[in-house]
A and B are shown apart, each in its own frame.
Chain A
Protein backbone atom coordinates (compact mmCIF):
# COMPACT_ATOMS: atom_id res chain seq x y z
CA UNK A 1 0.00 0.00 0.00
CA UNK A 2 1.38 3.39 -0.93
CA UNK A 3 0.51 6.76 0.54
CA UNK A 4 -1.58 9.31 -1.29
CA UNK A 5 -2.62 12.92 -0.65
CA UNK A 6 -6.10 13.70 -1.95
CA UNK A 7 -7.23 17.30 -2.35
CA UNK A 8 -11.00 17.57 -2.65
CA UNK A 9 -13.06 20.66 -3.32
CA UNK A 10 -15.57 20.80 -0.48
CA UNK A 11 -18.60 23.04 -0.35
CA UNK A 12 -21.60 22.89 1.95
CA UNK A 13 -23.83 25.83 0.98
CA UNK A 14 -25.49 25.72 4.40
CA UNK A 15 -22.19 26.10 6.27
CA UNK A 16 -19.39 27.34 3.97
CA UNK A 17 -19.10 30.88 2.65
CA UNK A 18 -17.19 29.59 -0.40
CA UNK A 19 -15.84 26.36 -1.86
CA UNK A 20 -12.44 25.34 -0.49
CA UNK A 21 -9.97 22.49 -0.90
CA UNK A 22 -9.37 20.02 1.89
CA UNK A 23 -6.57 17.47 1.88
CA UNK A 24 -6.87 13.90 3.10
CA UNK A 25 -4.19 11.23 3.52
CA UNK A 26 -5.12 7.76 2.31
CA UNK A 27 -3.36 4.63 1.13
CA UNK A 28 -3.79 2.91 -2.19
CA UNK A 29 -2.63 -0.18 -4.01
CA UNK A 30 -2.41 -1.30 -7.61
CA UNK A 31 -6.13 -1.91 -8.08
CA UNK A 32 -7.48 1.13 -6.24
CA UNK A 33 -9.81 3.34 -8.26
CA UNK A 34 -10.44 7.00 -7.49
CA UNK A 35 -13.98 6.05 -6.45
CA UNK A 36 -12.49 3.64 -3.87
CA UNK A 37 -10.53 6.58 -2.47
CA UNK A 38 -13.75 8.57 -2.10
CA UNK A 39 -15.35 5.64 -0.29
CA UNK A 40 -12.31 5.37 2.02
CA UNK A 41 -12.55 9.02 2.95
CA UNK A 42 -16.31 8.99 3.46
CA UNK A 43 -16.27 5.75 5.46
CA UNK A 44 -13.25 6.38 7.69
CA UNK A 45 -12.31 10.05 7.67
CA UNK A 46 -15.16 12.45 6.91
CA UNK A 47 -18.67 11.10 6.58
CA UNK A 48 -19.98 14.39 5.26
CA UNK A 49 -18.19 14.01 1.92
CA UNK A 50 -20.91 13.86 -0.72
CA UNK A 51 -20.64 12.42 -4.23
CA UNK A 52 -22.64 10.44 -6.75
CA UNK A 53 -21.90 6.83 -7.70
CA UNK A 54 -23.83 3.71 -8.61
CA UNK A 55 -22.65 0.88 -10.83
CA UNK A 56 -18.88 1.27 -10.13
CA UNK A 57 -18.24 -0.39 -13.50
CA UNK A 58 -18.22 2.49 -15.94
CA UNK A 59 -21.72 2.23 -17.39
CA UNK A 60 -24.14 4.31 -15.31
CA UNK A 61 -22.39 7.67 -15.75
CA UNK A 62 -23.03 8.82 -12.15
CA UNK A 63 -19.45 9.29 -10.99
CA UNK A 64 -18.04 11.68 -13.60
CA UNK A 65 -15.84 14.31 -11.89
CA UNK A 66 -12.78 16.42 -12.57
CA UNK A 67 -9.74 14.47 -11.39
CA UNK A 68 -6.41 16.31 -11.77
CA UNK A 69 -8.10 18.94 -13.94
CA UNK A 70 -9.54 16.41 -16.37
CA UNK A 71 -13.02 14.93 -16.59
CA UNK A 72 -13.06 11.22 -15.82
CA UNK A 73 -15.27 8.45 -14.44
CA UNK A 74 -13.87 7.92 -10.95
CA UNK A 75 -14.88 4.26 -10.94
CA UNK A 76 -12.91 3.76 -14.12
CA UNK A 77 -9.77 5.69 -13.21
CA UNK A 78 -6.95 3.82 -11.52
CA UNK A 79 -5.03 5.85 -8.94
CA UNK A 80 -1.75 4.20 -9.89
CA UNK A 81 -2.13 5.39 -13.48
CA UNK A 82 -2.66 9.06 -12.66
CA UNK A 83 -0.45 9.40 -9.59
CA UNK A 84 2.42 10.85 -11.63
CA UNK A 85 0.37 13.71 -13.07
CA UNK A 86 0.46 15.96 -10.06
CA UNK A 87 3.48 14.89 -8.02
CA UNK A 88 1.82 12.21 -5.89
CA UNK A 89 -1.28 14.24 -5.16
CA UNK A 90 -4.76 13.80 -6.61
CA UNK A 91 -7.22 16.67 -6.91
CA UNK A 92 -10.92 15.91 -7.15
CA UNK A 93 -13.44 18.56 -8.09
CA UNK A 94 -17.05 18.49 -9.28
CA UNK A 95 -17.97 18.76 -12.97
CA UNK A 96 -17.66 22.26 -14.37
CA UNK A 97 -20.36 24.32 -16.12
CA UNK A 98 -23.12 23.04 -13.83
CA UNK A 99 -24.27 24.51 -10.50
CA UNK A 100 -22.82 22.81 -7.44
CA UNK A 101 -25.33 21.43 -4.94
CA UNK A 102 -22.82 20.13 -2.40
CA UNK A 103 -19.20 18.96 -2.53
CA UNK A 104 -18.85 16.85 -5.67
CA UNK A 105 -22.55 16.75 -6.55
CA UNK A 106 -23.75 19.08 -9.31
CA UNK A 107 -27.22 19.92 -10.58
CA UNK A 108 -27.32 17.87 -13.77
CA UNK A 109 -30.80 19.20 -14.65
CA UNK A 110 -29.66 21.59 -17.41
CA UNK A 111 -27.70 18.78 -19.08
CA UNK A 112 -30.74 16.52 -19.27
CA UNK A 113 -33.08 19.35 -20.25
CA UNK A 114 -30.94 19.98 -23.33
CA UNK A 115 -30.80 16.26 -24.05
CA UNK A 116 -34.60 16.13 -24.01
CA UNK A 117 -34.82 19.23 -26.21
CA UNK A 118 -33.25 17.46 -29.19
CA UNK A 119 -35.90 14.70 -29.09
CA UNK A 120 -33.76 11.63 -28.40
CA UNK A 121 -36.24 9.10 -29.84
CA UNK A 122 -37.30 7.83 -33.24
CA UNK A 123 -40.13 9.79 -34.79
CA UNK A 124 -42.35 7.98 -37.27
CA UNK A 125 -44.36 9.82 -39.90
CA UNK A 126 -47.93 8.45 -39.56
CA UNK A 127 -48.49 9.01 -43.28
CA UNK A 128 -45.68 6.62 -44.19
CA UNK A 129 -46.44 2.90 -44.28
CA UNK A 130 -44.88 0.67 -41.65
CA UNK A 131 -42.66 -1.96 -43.36
CA UNK A 132 -44.10 -5.45 -43.74
CA UNK A 133 -41.43 -7.21 -41.73
CA UNK A 134 -38.71 -5.24 -39.96
CA UNK A 135 -36.94 -1.93 -40.58
CA UNK A 136 -33.72 -2.82 -42.41
CA UNK A 137 -30.65 -0.84 -41.36
CA UNK A 138 -27.38 -1.67 -43.11
CA UNK A 139 -24.46 -3.05 -41.14
CA UNK A 140 -22.33 -0.04 -42.03
CA UNK A 141 -24.95 2.39 -40.77
CA UNK A 142 -25.48 0.42 -37.56
CA UNK A 143 -21.77 0.30 -36.87
CA UNK A 144 -21.46 4.00 -37.56
CA UNK A 145 -24.34 4.92 -35.24
CA UNK A 146 -23.26 2.57 -32.47
CA UNK A 147 -20.60 5.00 -31.33
CA UNK A 148 -23.17 7.72 -30.68
CA UNK A 149 -25.47 5.30 -28.90
CA UNK A 150 -22.68 4.49 -26.45
CA UNK A 151 -23.21 7.76 -24.58
CA UNK A 152 -23.90 7.14 -20.87
CA UNK A 153 -24.89 10.78 -20.21
CA UNK A 154 -22.14 11.20 -17.63
CA UNK A 155 -21.67 14.91 -18.35
CA UNK A 156 -17.90 14.76 -18.83
CA UNK A 157 -18.10 16.34 -22.28
CA UNK A 158 -20.46 19.04 -21.00
CA UNK A 159 -18.00 19.87 -18.25
CA UNK A 160 -15.00 19.90 -20.59
CA UNK A 161 -16.50 22.25 -23.17
CA UNK A 162 -15.07 25.80 -22.86
CA UNK A 163 -18.03 27.23 -24.81
CA UNK A 164 -20.34 26.16 -22.00
CA UNK A 165 -17.93 27.88 -19.62
CA UNK A 166 -19.13 31.22 -20.95
CA UNK A 167 -22.56 30.43 -22.45
CA UNK A 168 -25.25 28.58 -20.52
CA UNK A 169 -27.55 28.32 -23.53
CA UNK A 170 -25.36 26.17 -25.78
CA UNK A 171 -26.94 22.73 -26.23
CA UNK A 172 -23.64 20.99 -25.58
CA UNK A 173 -21.77 18.04 -27.09
CA UNK A 174 -23.84 15.16 -25.66
CA UNK A 175 -27.18 16.53 -26.87
CA UNK A 176 -25.80 17.36 -30.32
CA UNK A 177 -24.11 14.00 -30.73
CA UNK A 178 -27.40 12.32 -29.93
CA UNK A 179 -29.22 14.62 -32.36
CA UNK A 180 -26.81 13.42 -35.07
CA UNK A 181 -27.47 9.79 -34.11
CA UNK A 182 -31.19 10.24 -34.73
CA UNK A 183 -30.88 12.55 -37.74
CA UNK A 184 -28.77 9.85 -39.38
CA UNK A 185 -31.04 6.93 -38.56
CA UNK A 186 -32.86 5.66 -41.69
CA UNK A 187 -35.85 4.67 -39.59
CA UNK A 188 -36.41 8.28 -38.46
CA UNK A 189 -38.78 10.59 -40.39
CA UNK A 190 -38.07 13.88 -38.62
CA UNK A 191 -34.66 14.90 -39.98
CA UNK A 192 -35.82 18.35 -41.10
CA UNK A 193 -37.28 19.06 -37.68
CA UNK A 194 -34.14 17.86 -35.92
CA UNK A 195 -31.87 20.01 -38.07
CA UNK A 196 -34.05 23.02 -37.27
CA UNK A 197 -33.61 22.37 -33.55
CA UNK A 198 -29.81 22.25 -33.75
CA UNK A 199 -29.05 24.55 -36.69
CA UNK A 200 -28.79 27.82 -34.77
CA UNK A 201 -26.51 29.85 -32.53
CA UNK A 202 -27.18 27.74 -29.44
CA UNK A 203 -26.79 24.54 -31.42
CA UNK A 204 -24.14 23.39 -33.87
CA UNK A 205 -22.87 26.85 -34.78
CA UNK A 206 -21.65 27.44 -31.25
CA UNK A 207 -19.11 24.66 -31.61
CA UNK A 208 -15.59 25.88 -32.35
CA UNK A 209 -14.16 22.39 -32.80
CA UNK A 210 -12.13 22.58 -29.62
CA UNK A 211 -12.30 18.76 -29.31
CA UNK A 212 -12.26 18.69 -25.49
CA UNK A 213 -15.47 16.64 -25.51
CA UNK A 214 -13.96 14.00 -27.78
CA UNK A 215 -10.84 13.80 -25.64
CA UNK A 216 -12.62 13.24 -22.31
CA UNK A 217 -15.47 10.95 -23.36
CA UNK A 218 -15.03 7.70 -21.38
CA UNK A 219 -17.02 5.75 -23.95
CA UNK A 220 -15.25 6.87 -27.11
CA UNK A 221 -18.07 9.01 -28.51
CA UNK A 222 -16.84 11.74 -30.87
CA UNK A 223 -19.26 14.63 -30.41
CA UNK A 224 -17.08 16.99 -32.47
CA UNK A 225 -17.41 14.69 -35.48
CA UNK A 226 -21.18 14.49 -35.03
CA UNK A 227 -21.51 18.26 -34.75
CA UNK A 228 -19.49 18.89 -37.92
CA UNK A 229 -21.66 16.42 -39.81
CA UNK A 230 -24.76 18.18 -38.48
CA UNK A 231 -23.33 21.49 -39.73
CA UNK A 232 -22.95 19.97 -43.19
CA UNK A 233 -26.46 18.55 -43.13
CA UNK A 234 -27.92 21.86 -41.97
CA UNK A 235 -26.19 23.83 -44.72
CA UNK A 236 -27.15 21.30 -47.39
CA UNK A 237 -30.77 21.49 -46.32
CA UNK A 238 -30.71 25.30 -46.31
CA UNK A 239 -29.16 25.38 -49.78
CA UNK A 240 -31.80 22.96 -50.96
CA UNK A 241 -29.93 19.90 -52.07
CA UNK A 242 -30.63 17.28 -49.40
Chain B
Protein backbone atom coordinates (compact mmCIF):
# COMPACT_ATOMS: atom_id res chain seq x y z
CA UNK B 1 0.00 0.00 0.00
CA UNK B 2 1.49 3.35 -0.99
CA UNK B 3 1.85 5.40 2.18
CA UNK B 4 1.50 9.18 1.96
CA UNK B 5 2.99 11.21 4.81
CA UNK B 6 1.04 10.14 7.86
CA UNK B 7 0.29 13.28 9.89
CA UNK B 8 -0.77 13.41 13.48
CA UNK B 9 -4.35 14.58 13.62
CA UNK B 10 -4.40 17.72 15.76
CA UNK B 11 -8.10 17.80 16.60
CA UNK B 12 -8.15 14.38 18.21
CA UNK B 13 -4.99 14.96 20.26
CA UNK B 14 -6.27 16.40 23.50
CA UNK B 15 -9.02 13.88 23.94
CA UNK B 16 -8.79 14.08 27.71
CA UNK B 17 -10.10 17.62 27.70
CA UNK B 18 -13.31 16.76 25.87
CA UNK B 19 -16.35 16.92 28.09
CA UNK B 20 -17.67 13.41 27.71
CA UNK B 21 -14.31 11.78 27.93
CA UNK B 22 -13.33 13.16 31.34
CA UNK B 23 -13.64 10.37 33.85
CA UNK B 24 -13.02 10.36 37.58
CA UNK B 25 -9.34 9.47 37.23
CA UNK B 26 -8.72 12.25 34.71
CA UNK B 27 -10.51 14.81 36.89
CA UNK B 28 -8.40 13.77 39.88
CA UNK B 29 -5.22 14.19 37.85
CA UNK B 30 -6.20 17.60 36.48
CA UNK B 31 -7.23 18.87 39.95
CA UNK B 32 -4.00 17.54 41.45
CA UNK B 33 -1.95 19.37 38.83
CA UNK B 34 -3.91 22.63 39.23
CA UNK B 35 -3.80 22.50 43.04
CA UNK B 36 -0.05 21.83 42.87
CA UNK B 37 0.52 24.90 40.71
CA UNK B 38 -1.68 27.04 42.95
CA UNK B 39 0.16 25.86 46.06
CA UNK B 40 3.52 26.65 44.48
CA UNK B 41 2.39 30.18 43.64
CA UNK B 42 0.95 30.54 47.14
CA UNK B 43 4.21 29.41 48.73
CA UNK B 44 6.14 32.11 46.92
CA UNK B 45 3.64 34.78 47.96
CA UNK B 46 3.76 33.50 51.53
CA UNK B 47 7.53 33.82 51.64
CA UNK B 48 7.27 37.41 50.38
CA UNK B 49 4.67 38.29 53.03
CA UNK B 50 6.41 36.62 55.97
CA UNK B 51 9.77 37.88 54.69
CA UNK B 52 8.63 41.42 55.45
CA UNK B 53 9.50 40.57 59.06
CA UNK B 54 13.15 40.80 58.09
CA UNK B 55 12.70 44.38 56.91
CA UNK B 56 11.07 45.99 59.94
CA UNK B 57 8.29 45.69 62.48
CA UNK B 58 6.26 48.26 60.57
CA UNK B 59 6.67 46.48 57.22
CA UNK B 60 5.61 43.17 58.77
CA UNK B 61 2.62 44.70 60.52
CA UNK B 62 1.53 46.36 57.29
CA UNK B 63 1.87 43.12 55.34
CA UNK B 64 -0.10 41.12 57.91
CA UNK B 65 -2.74 43.83 58.13
CA UNK B 66 -3.11 43.63 54.35
CA UNK B 67 -3.59 39.87 54.25
CA UNK B 68 -6.02 39.83 57.15
CA UNK B 69 -8.69 41.66 55.19
CA UNK B 70 -11.86 39.58 54.58
CA UNK B 71 -11.14 38.66 50.92
CA UNK B 72 -7.82 37.20 52.00
CA UNK B 73 -9.43 35.29 54.86
CA UNK B 74 -11.69 33.60 52.33
CA UNK B 75 -8.65 32.84 50.18
CA UNK B 76 -6.93 31.38 53.22
CA UNK B 77 -9.87 29.04 53.74
CA UNK B 78 -9.69 28.11 50.06
CA UNK B 79 -6.00 27.45 50.60
CA UNK B 80 -6.84 25.03 53.41
CA UNK B 81 -9.20 23.22 51.05
CA UNK B 82 -6.59 23.13 48.29
CA UNK B 83 -3.94 21.74 50.62
CA UNK B 84 -6.44 19.16 51.87
CA UNK B 85 -7.30 18.03 48.35
CA UNK B 86 -3.68 17.86 47.20
CA UNK B 87 -2.62 15.99 50.31
CA UNK B 88 -5.51 13.52 50.32
CA UNK B 89 -5.30 12.80 46.60
CA UNK B 90 -1.55 12.51 47.05
CA UNK B 91 -2.16 9.84 49.70
CA UNK B 92 -4.56 8.15 47.25
CA UNK B 93 -1.76 8.05 44.64
CA UNK B 94 0.78 6.79 47.16
CA UNK B 95 -1.57 3.96 48.09
CA UNK B 96 -1.85 3.04 44.39
CA UNK B 97 1.93 2.97 44.12
CA UNK B 98 2.02 0.58 47.07
CA UNK B 99 -0.47 -1.61 45.23
CA UNK B 100 -3.46 -0.97 47.47
CA UNK B 101 -6.88 0.43 46.69
CA UNK B 102 -6.58 0.59 42.90
CA UNK B 103 -9.97 -0.95 42.34
CA UNK B 104 -11.49 1.54 44.79
CA UNK B 105 -10.03 4.54 42.99
CA UNK B 106 -13.33 6.36 42.41
CA UNK B 107 -14.36 5.99 46.04
CA UNK B 108 -10.99 7.26 47.25
CA UNK B 109 -11.25 10.28 44.96
CA UNK B 110 -14.75 11.00 46.22
CA UNK B 111 -13.53 10.89 49.82
CA UNK B 112 -10.61 13.23 49.03
CA UNK B 113 -12.86 15.72 47.29
CA UNK B 114 -15.55 15.69 49.97
CA UNK B 115 -13.03 16.09 52.80
CA UNK B 116 -11.33 18.94 50.90
CA UNK B 117 -14.59 20.80 50.43
CA UNK B 118 -15.45 20.10 54.07
CA UNK B 119 -12.10 21.58 55.11
CA UNK B 120 -12.88 24.73 53.15
CA UNK B 121 -16.34 25.06 54.67
CA UNK B 122 -15.21 24.31 58.22
CA UNK B 123 -12.41 26.87 57.86
CA UNK B 124 -14.92 29.48 56.73
CA UNK B 125 -17.10 28.73 59.72
CA UNK B 126 -14.15 28.80 62.11
CA UNK B 127 -12.93 32.11 60.70
CA UNK B 128 -16.31 33.76 60.47
CA UNK B 129 -15.42 36.37 63.06
CA UNK B 130 -12.63 37.65 60.81
CA UNK B 131 -14.85 38.01 57.73
Q: Does B15 contact A (CB under 8 A)?
A: yes
**A98→B15 CA distance, assembly (Å):** 12
Q: Which residues of B contact A149 (CB under 8 A)?
A: none
* Shortest beta-carbon distance from A112 to chain B in Å: 15
Q: When the two chains form their complex, are residues A225 and B103 in contact, meaning their CB atoms are under 8 A apart? A: yes
* Shortest beta-carbon distance from A90 to chain B in Å: 12
Q: Does A238 contact B (CB under 8 A)?
A: no
Q: Does A228 contact B (CB under 8 A)?
A: yes
User: Count the A-B residue pairs with Cβ separation under 8 angstroms: how many?
Assistant: 105
Q: Does A60 contact B (CB under 8 A)?
A: no
- Given A13-B4, A210-B26, A212-B23, are A96 and B102 neighbors across the interface (CB < 8 Å)? no
Question: For the complex, would chain B's binding face be called helix, strand, loop or mixed by DSSP majority?
Answer: helix
Q: Which residues of B contact A208 (CB under 8 A)?
A: 29, 93
| Residues of B94-112 contacting chain A, CB below 8 A | 96-99, 102-103, 105
| Partner of A99 from B6, B26, B29 at Cβ < 8 Å | B6
Chain B residue with Cβ nearest A215: B23
Q: Does A209 contact B (CB under 8 A)?
A: yes
| Partner of A101 from B6, B11, B20, B102 at Cβ < 8 Å | B6
* Shortest beta-carbon distance from B76 to chain A in Å: 29
- Given A14-B4, A209-B105, are A66 and B12 neighbors across the interface (CB < 8 Å)? yes
- Given A225-B103, A232-B99, are A94 and B9 neighbors across the interface (CB < 8 Å)? yes
| Partner of A70 from B6, B20, B28 at Cβ < 8 Å | B20
Q: Does A165 contact B (CB under 8 A)?
A: yes
The number of chain B residues with a CB under 8 A from chain A is 31
Q: When the two chains form their complex, are residues A96 and B3 in contact, meaning their CB atoms are under 8 A apart? A: no
* Shortest beta-carbon distance from B120 to chain A in Å: 25
When A and B form their complex, which 10 residue pairs have the shortest distance between CB atoms, in order from nearest? A211-B25, A162-B16, A99-B6, A69-B20, A100-B9, A96-B12, A96-B15, A210-B25, A69-B18, A69-B21
Known: A101-B4, A209-B93, A210-B23. 17 other contacts (CB 8 A): A9-B11, A11-B9, A19-B9, A69-B18, A94-B12, A98-B8, A99-B6, A159-B15, A165-B14, A210-B16, A211-B24, A214-B25, A222-B103, A224-B25, A224-B96, A228-B99, A232-B97
